[in-house]
Chain A
């Protein structure tokens, strides 16, 4: 077990930021912590790393209690913080060298690791630039290089793709998968479900300081009653037809808004054909049709009654 958190509770005054938060992360995972802004992801990370004191609970990392002075554990961890934390006064190279140097004393080894990290995130060209001169995406990559240069066994990424250009986003997501393949256990927090679905091997969905569902993305989608979502462009619709569609077998819900009919079906069944057959047999003209498998947003929606996206 890489991380085991039990009943972690953290209050900011009256606000309960973590509410009996439990988490287990296994070796070799890319564990995704998915939750909307303010759900407590960063607070959880900071408490786990003993950067923030908490009111209740226990944190074990590599089977040892984590504490502010647990330096042997800290050595094994890499942290890429949500906010870019680099020295404005140091160049790209000097920054990576500084943060790597906090862990690696051997100068020769460090030189190699720093070069590798800079290469890895693809900012070699900007080595002598100061952070002020970098775009948001490059700055995030620098932040990552600083966090991973010492080749830690456990790497925590806290929303590393917020406000980056698509190219940097791809670079970052692929990089994380490569690090994982090279043997690192990853914790990845995000409020973008697509990213989490794309790279995480296991996902915990967070809301209001708790993990409300946990599992692989397939397991998560199995937890909910709705399956595929069918959207049909329709320019008019009367209530009778809507009620008829709701009555069709395996249909969980149907609604009409913005010139579209949205039908959710129970899982595992292909219901598109029966819906289209019904529309045709009633001589109703329709436009484009989409069919989507359930997303993590649907999971979130069904458990919390609200959308994951803001």
Chain B
């Protein structure tokens, strides 16, 4: 098992770089996962957004209703309608959101025309996204009534909407689930795990394979009586052991953080999901390790693959904020399926058949990734060998 041992010595030599990603993960998992709150379930009463509401559309019940509705979630800051002052207020974060209702908005809206509110926001502000969704919610509801009930007066419309929306809010609040937060946290713990696991496996495995693929060392091994098949076997075994070890180490903190909750069906499913995912990542690492040549390129590839796939698959940003096209693209990465089954596992209450089917589908897709990446790299390796050595 010389090759196997050498493989791990090479990994050991790259430990510093690998450990960084473990530390990042611990930070994400312990710190972020514990303060994380799903924006979709955020209680808006708690954090009111400072904003300016300017209406050029006087005497409109619809606009009044809107202002009242968002007023429950916002502090209206009285700032004169002066371009310079408003810009300063945004700049100094006195307000995060400015909305202007243009003249004739209500009339246009009631007649079914396409019309928009003008808004200015602090770039990158998360709460502005919630404010957008609040305003959209109100106007979409209004649009629904306007389109379906003819001759509706503004006052009636405003009443309908306010009743409707308060009703919805109540339904939301009447859903007390003591485990919900815990499940969310665990889901995010395992989602973050995808990032570091991906980076660590690509870094470690590519670094080791790159050494063995160096032309001089490869030739040196080739002229020895070591069988090629034996060498491949030991390298693959090394890869698998490294992947399992990495998984175990990264799952370990979850037992510290969630204790008994990890010994449940949910906990086991989270862990199983992680192992299946690691096989897919292993396949991809094996492929990159056989393609990528330089050390710098390996770090770059590790970063791009891990961060990129995690980003588009909704590890760092909730999926609702990602476009459909992006998500379609993301479904070409195993991370998408891992995150997907994490969410199903996290949110299911009992083991329902459709959940089982969805989780199994994700597992199968991830395994297909593993097998494909692996097969492609073996074919490439074989071709390279044949081109150089065989065929005379």
Q: Chain A: residues with CB nearer than 8 A to chain B? A: 46, 49-55, 68, 71-72, 74-75, 77, 79, 81, 83-90, 94, 98-99, 101-103, 146
Asked whether B390 lies within 8 Å of A53 as measured between CB atoms, the reply is yes
Which chain B residues border A81 with CB–CB below 8 Å? 216, 219-220
Asked whether B221 lies within 8 Å of A102 as measured between CB atoms, the reply is yes
Q: Which of B2-10, B88-96, B149-157, B279-287 contacts A (4 or more CB under 8 A)?
A: B2-10
Q: Please report the number of residue pairs spanning A and B whose Cβ atoms sit closer than 8 angstroms.
A: 74
Asked whether A103 lies within 8 Å of B225 as measured between CB atoms, the reply is yes
5 new A-B contacts, CB < 8 A, other than A51-B219, A90-B9, are: A52-B388, A71-B225, A79-B223, A85-B217, A94-B9
30 A-B residue pairs with Cβ-Cβ distance under 8 Å, sorted by A, are A46-B219, A50-B223, A50-B389, A51-B222, A51-B388, A53-B392, A54-B392, A68-B390, A71-B225, A71-B227, A72-B225, A75-B225, A79-B223, A81-B216, A84-B216, A85-B214, A85-B219, A86-B217, A87-B6, A87-B9, A87-B10, A89-B9, A90-B6, A90-B9, A90-B10, A94-B6, A94-B9, A102-B2, A102-B221, A102-B226
Q: Which residue of B lies closest to A51 (CB)?
A: B219
Summarize B's interface: helix, strand, loop or mixed. Answer: helix
The minimal Cβ–Cβ distance linking A157 to chain B, given in whole angstroms, is 13
Given A102-B2, A102-B225, are A85 and B220 neighbors across the interface (CB < 8 Å)?
Answer: yes
Which chain B residues border A99 with CB–CB below 8 Å? 220, 224
Which chain B residues border A53 with CB–CB below 8 Å? 388-392
Mark contacts of B1-36 with chain A using CB atoms, 8 A cut-off: 1 yes-contact digit, 0 otherwise.
010001001101110000000000000000000000
CA distance A46 to B223 in the complex (A): 9
Summarize A's interface: helix, strand, loop or mixed. Answer: loop
Q: Which residue of B lies closest to A74 (CB)?
A: B225
Please count how many residues in chain B sit with their CB below 8 Å of the partner chain's CB atoms.
25
CA distance A103 to B219 in the complex (A): 15
Listed from nearest, the 6 A-B pairs whose CB atoms lie closest are A102-B224, A85-B216, A89-B13, A85-B220, A71-B225, A89-B10
B63 within 8 A of A: no
Mark contacts of B368-392 with chain A using CB atoms, 8 A cut-off: 1 yes-contact digit, 0 otherwise.
0000000000000000000011111
CA distance A68 to B390 in the complex (A): 7
Q: Which residue of A lies closest to B2 (CB)?
A: A101
CA distance A127 to B389 in the complex (A): 34
B211 within 8 A of A: yes
CA distance A86 to B9 in the complex (A): 13
Query: Which residue, of B211, B220, B226, has the highest number of chain A Cβ atoms within 10 A?
Result: B220
The minimal Cβ–Cβ distance linking A99 to chain B, given in whole angstroms, is 7
CA distance A87 to B6 in the complex (A): 9
